[in-house]
Structure 1
Amino acid sequence: MHFRLLCISLLGLSLNAQAAFSIPGFELVQTAPVETTLSNSDLADPVTVWCQQFDAAKNTIDIAQFYVTSEPGEPLEPVLKHLRQAGERGVKIRFLMDLHGVRMSNEPTLAAIKSIPNLTFQLIDFGKIGGGIVHAKYIVVDGKSAFVGSQNFDWRALKHIHETGLLITDSKIAAQVQAIFNVDWQAQQLLAEGKAVPVLNHQVVAADESQSAYLVASPNAYNPAGVGDSESELPKLLAKAEHEVYITVMTYAPLSYSYKKPAPYYAVIDDAIRAAAQRGVKIHLMISAWNTGKPYIDYLKSLQVLPNIDVKVVTIPEAKQGFIPFARTLHSKTMEIDGKIAWIGTSNWEGGYMNNSRNLELVLQNSAMANRLQQLQLQLWNSVYAAPLDINQEYPNPHPASAN
């Protein structure tokens, strides 16, 4: 356990030191929406973690994001300030963003990032590679430490959205995250030259479950050596569950995230959850109120009627300042199994994420981390913000959520 000094804000205010829950190689990082009762004094916040990572960088910083957006006076501003300071002292920075994220980004933020000294910015059309998007949100510093989590490079993800991530100081895992970035950076360069991006894996790569902590990613075809396939690993872990599973995710459905109508059926995760419940495992599933539109709500109701499955809908109330687009929601992507296994990643639980988009997930076979993650999940599960899904209720179609 150690202490972190929070970043100095643009207003020049210095905040108090904060303890962070950790196990060897990993620290749990949370965003609790302001004006809720969901904060935790023992969990680090991403602004602190990202600023300290940038301050500690000696040679390189690599960042991959779906989109970027900041606002004056909001919490991404100090992050950008510390990133600029790293570039000014000679740290080489590479920033990779998905082409489809441009429409969700604001131009001043893009311009601010591109103006940072020693920073190279590239857009990648991951649809031309895996068929999806770069949905992963991660940072690698000097190839030795990394951050992976649900937090987008978005001021709202640092203040108004329920998010969960991990600071990674385990050198092996950090090196694997670095390898994923290198694969995608090189893929973008090949695309820019009009060349084909080679498939790295023609068969599913199994995760090394002998490790106490391991990284899985998607899509399997473009994972570097040593990184297992997240799409096959998630059902394998659910098949191991014996007693109880807690799942927290923004969107869930046996459908593919797609502009196609109807959306393609995708049963990989849904089948695994139903199979676990059928053999007596208690499944506790929390989803965002953004997940209540049709036909999503119908699939959720079909889970709620089954023995051993409880579904709750999480609604974060509007902030005092008024409506904020694409904010005030549950966006964490976590799972805890039997007090033994913690899953923390970047994928929503529907098709299009673990099969053809770039996403990263950490599996920690550690009871301390699993129990702390369960406590975080139970805090939300037992809060006033989570309500049981009522199979007889007609739920409204939510406002379209671009920040997915």
Structure 2
Amino acid sequence: MPDYHNLRRPLRRLIAALWGSGLLILSHNAAARFDVPGYELVYNAPQETTLQNDDLRDSADVWQQMFAGAKQQIDIAQFYVANQSGARLDGVLAQLRAAGERGVKIRFLLEQKGVTMSTAETLEQLKTIPGLEMRVIDYRQLSGGILHAKYLLVDGKQAFVGSQNFDWRALDHIQETGLLISDNRVVSQIQAIFDQDWQAQALLAAQQTVPERSDQSDGQTYDNYLVASPRAFNPPGVIDSQSELPRLLAAAKQRIRVQVMEYAPLSYGPQRTRPYYALIDNALRSAAARGVQIELMVADWNTKKPAIDYLKSLALLPNIQIKVVTIPPASSGFIPFARVIHSKIMTIDGELAWIGTSNWSGGYLDNSRNLELILNNPSMAARVDKLYQQLWSSNYAAPLRIDYDYPPLKPGG
């Protein structure tokens, strides 16, 4: 007679291995998710596209679950906030309010430049949540940049970091990628960043000086780790993203895949000037010169001058392919600042995944607050690669045309 008990054990191990590698896909009726220890990949596809991924939960569901499970404290840092009645952000705001009503303390940190991008109704809605304290930080006073990171923390045990703004369009009409994080060491570092910026706002409001980081040495790298910017205002032990990204690109041996909304070796100067910022561009060109195959996808918003001219010069090099992604308008009509790819992801050699909040141009990794996660995990890298290839091979992505003058786009209408 077969020993069914012994047969079940290898079957359980097989199921666990398939789950860990992301090869076990759940049905539509199940709570689909892809994760590796400490990290769940979270994804939003624009409505009315073929970019859905059934094994990836979207941020609206994840945020609601995080807020529903909060017991003591929720911390939120965002560039801006914008809701529209009837959108999926309604459910997120309802769970946030319910958390406040049951006594959870809520701290909400907002960027000063993002206030004008926010909807007044959403700001007022947040301010009426019991137990919620909102602070507005002018990050320009700290480092010349902005609070561009988009992240949440619950009870110091969970964090969410991703490209998703606290915006109804991010949940319904923009392609976004993020991570739900339960890795204690990384969550603690993200908490330290929030606490530091929260206190910095109070010092700035009191017209006091915010001390820069005196210890400029970087922390230790692990298999999975956090990097952040700007370096001068990173807590001790948090690695500088502007230093780490070129180092990772220099270590690539075979293939680099990058998707960002905006790529340009340019920064943002006074009177709409675009000063040269060569750090990332030099690293990519150097990788291509030593034979690394590079694939880069950008949004169609990235085709305006002068950025498009630098993209074309990059596309002329051997070993570099660039595609421009256009998401068609919604059937309901034009939606300002939507219908675009907004993910900030990279994979290297099928072994490493980078998921963060920065565009790849000046003003993001050097002087703005941004967070990026580096996962040296082949299963996560393979799943992010699959996500990348889905878009790369879709009808929405077209090779960059060197001999074509792209028409000017007006994302805001």
Task: State the alpha-carbon separation in 2 of the partners of residues 266 and 401 from structure 1.
Answer: 26
Match of 2:107 among 69, 94, 103: 94
Q: 1:251 aligned to 2:262?
A: yes
Shift of 1:17: 3.8
Q: Deviations over 1:322-379 (max 9, x none)?
A: 1000000010000000011000000000000000000000000000000100000000
The answer to whether the aligner puts 1:267 opposite 2:278 as a matched pair is yes
Counterpart residue identity of residue 331, structure 1: H
1:62 is paired with a residue of what secondary structure?
Answer: strand
Q: TM-score, normalised by structure 1?
A: 0.94
Whether 1:208 and 2:220 are equivalent positions in the alignment is yes
C-alpha displacement at 1:238, in angstroms? Answer: 0.3
Whichever residue aligns with residue 379 of structure 1, its letter is Q
Asked if 2 retains the 8 angstrom alpha-carbon contact of 1:201 and 1:222, the reply is: no
Residue identity in the other structure for 2:266: L
Q: Is 1:21 aligned to residue 25 of structure 2?
A: no
Q: Aligned to 1:275, what secondary structure does the other structure show? A: helix
| 1:137-176 alignment, distance < 5 Å | 137-176=150-189
In the alignment, which residue of structure 1 is the partner of 2:241? 230
Counterpart Cα distance in 2 of 1:91 and 1:70: 22
CA–CA separation in structure 2 for the residues paired with 1:25 and 1:130: 32
Distance 1:103 1:251 in 2: 22
**Residues 137, 151 of structure 1: 8 Å contact kept:** yes
Cα distance between partner residues in 1 of 2:338 and 2:250: 34
Structure 2 match to 1:59: 72
Match of 2:23 in 1: none
Q: Name the residue aligned to 1:75.
A: 88
Q: CA contact under 8 A between 1:64 and 1:137: conserved in structure 2?
A: yes
User: Relative to structure 1, is the Cα distance of residues 327 and 145 closer, same or farther in structure 2, using a 3 angstrom cutoff?
Assistant: same
Contact 1:68-1:105 at 8 Å conserved across structures: yes
Aligned equivalents of 2:381 and 2:412: distance in 1? 30
Query: Over residues 134-154 of structure 1, what are the superposed CA-to-partner deviations in whole Å (9 max), with x where a residue is unaligned?
Result: 000000001111000000000
CA deviation vs aligned residue, 1:37-79 (integer Å, no higher than 9, x gap): 0000000100110000001111000000000000000011100
Dislocated runs of 4+, deviation >6 Å: none
In 2, distance between residues paired with 1:369 and 1:33?
22
Matched, 1:278 2:276: no
Please say if residues 30 and 163 of structure 1, whose CA atoms lie closer than 8 Å, have aligned partners that are also in contact.
yes
1:179-231 superposed Cα distances (whole Å, 9 cap, x missing partner): 0000000000001111000001463x43523x110000000000001110000
1:163 positional shift = 0.4
Q: Check whether the contact 1:100–1:133 (CA below 8 A) recurs between aligned residues.
A: yes
Distance of aligned partners of 1:323 and 1:401 in 2 relative to their CA distance in 1, 3 Å threshold: closer
Q: Which residue pairs with 2:302 in the alignment?
A: 291
Q: Quote the residue 1:337 is aligned against.
A: 348
Cα deviation, 1:305-332, whole Å, max 9, x if unaligned, reads: 1000000000000000010000000100
Give the C-alpha shift of residue 258 in structure 1.
3.8
Aligned length: 388
8 Å Cα contact 1:290/1:401 also seen in 2: no
- AA in 1 matched with 2:290: R
Q: Which amino acid aligns with 1:32?
A: A
Distance 1:130 1:144 in 2: 29
Equivalent position amino acid for 1:135 in 2: H
Cα distance in 1, alignment partners of residues 57 and 175 from structure 2? 14
Measure how far apart 1:130 and its partner are: 1.3
Please, which of 182, 185, 189 is the counterpart of residue 198 of structure 2?
Answer: 185
Task: Give the Å deviation of 1:261.
Answer: 4.0
Q: Output one character per residue of 1:234-263: Cα deviation in whole Å (capped at 9) or x when no partner.
A: 000000100001100000000003454431
How far apart are the structure 2 equivalents of 1:168 and 1:281? 31
The answer to whether the 8 Å contact 1:286/1:313 transfers is yes
Once residues 201 and 273 of structure 2 are traced to their aligned partners in structure 1, the CA distance between those partners, rounded to angstroms, is 31
Question: Which residue among 376, 390, 409 is the counterpart of 1:365?
Answer: 376
The separation in 1 between residues aligned to 2:235 and 2:412, in whole angstroms, is 31
The equivalences for 1:368-383 within 5 A come to: 368-383=379-394
Selected match of 2:118 from 83, 105, 110: 105
The corresponding residue for 1:12 is none
2:324 is equivalent to residue 313 of structure 1: yes
Counterpart code for 2:99: A
Q: Percent identity?
A: 59
Instruction: Give, as a single letter, the amino acid of the residue that structure 2 aligns with 1:267.
Output: A
Q: CA deviation at 1:399?
A: 1.1
Alpha-carbon separation, structure 1, partners of 2:218 and 2:319: 29
1:391 to 370, 382, 402: 402
Higher normalized helix content (fraction of residues): 2
1:303 corresponds to which letter in structure 2? Answer: L
Contact 1:132 1:352 in 2 (8 A): yes
Q: Structure 2: any 5+ residue segments left out of the alignment?
A: 1-18, 21-27
Does the 8 A contact of 1:288 with 1:331 survive in 2?
A: yes
Q: Distance in 1 between matches of 2:362 and 2:268?
A: 6
Matched position secondary structure for 1:19: coil
Shift of 1:18: 2.3
